[in-house]
A = this chain, B = another copy of it.
Amino acid sequence: MESSLGFVTPVRMHFDQALALQNGQSLPAYDLMVETYGTLNRERSNAVLICHALNASHHVAGIDPDSAEVGWWDNMVGPGKPLDTNRFFVIGVNNLGSCFGSTGPMSLDPQTGRPYGARFPVITVEDWVHAQARVADAYGIARFAAVMGGSLGGMQALAWSLMYPQRVAHCMVIASTPKLSAQNIAFNEVARSAIRSDPDFHGGDYYAQGVKPRGGLRVARMIGHITYLSDDDMATKFGRALRRAEGALDAYKFSFDVEFEVESYLRYQGDKFAEYFDANTYLLITRALDYFDPAKAFDGDLTAALDATTATFFVASFTTDWRFAPARSRELVRALLKLKRDVTYAEIDAPHGHDAFLLDDARYHNLVRAQFARIAEEVNA
Contact of A266 with B219 at beta-carbon distance under 8 Å, contacts A235-B182, A254-B122 already known: no
In the complex, what distance in Å separates the CA atom of A240 from the CA atom of B179?
Answer: 9
A189 at the interface (CB under 8 A from B): yes
Interface residues of A, dominant DSSP: helix
Measured CB to CB, the closest approach of chain B to A75, in angstroms, equals: 26
A219 and B222 contacting across the interface, CB-CB below 8 Å: no
A235 and B197 contacting across the interface, CB-CB below 8 Å: no
Measured CB to CB, the closest approach of chain B to A28, in angstroms, equals: 18
Among B24, B187, B262, B263, which residue has its beta carbon within 8 angstroms of that of A226?
B187
Interface-side segment among A85-93, A109-117, A138-146, A287-295: A287-295
Q: Which residue of B lies closest to A122 (CB)?
A: B254
B185 and A291 contacting across the interface, CB-CB below 8 Å: no
Q: Which residue of B lies closest to A295 (CB)?
A: B240
Measured CB to CB, the closest approach of chain B to A214, in angstroms, equals: 8
Among B182, B186, B226, B256, which residue has its beta carbon within 8 angstroms of that of A186?
B226
Which residues of B have CB within 8 Å of A287?
Answer: 256
Contact with B along A282-321 (1 / 0, CB 8 A): 0100010011010010000000000000000000000000
Given contacts A182-B262, A254-B291, 8 further A-B contacts (CB under 8 A): A24-B254, A181-B231, A182-B237, A182-B238, A189-B266, A190-B219, A190-B266, A192-B256
27 pairs, A vs B, C-beta closer than 8 Å: A23-B254, A24-B254, A180-B240, A181-B231, A181-B240, A182-B235, A182-B237, A182-B240, A182-B262, A185-B240, A186-B222, A186-B263, A187-B226, A189-B222, A189-B260, A189-B262, A189-B266, A193-B218, A193-B266, A193-B270, A194-B219, A197-B216, A197-B218, A198-B215, A240-B293, A240-B296, A260-B290
Sort A-B residue pairs by CB-CB distance and give the 3 closest, nearest first.
Answer: A197-B215, A23-B254, A182-B234
Interface residues of A (CB under 8 A from B): 22-24, 121-122, 124, 179-183, 185-187, 189-190, 192-194, 196-199, 215-216, 218-219, 222-223, 225-226, 229, 231, 234-235, 237-240, 252, 254-256, 259-260, 262-263, 266-267, 270, 283, 287, 290-291, 293, 296
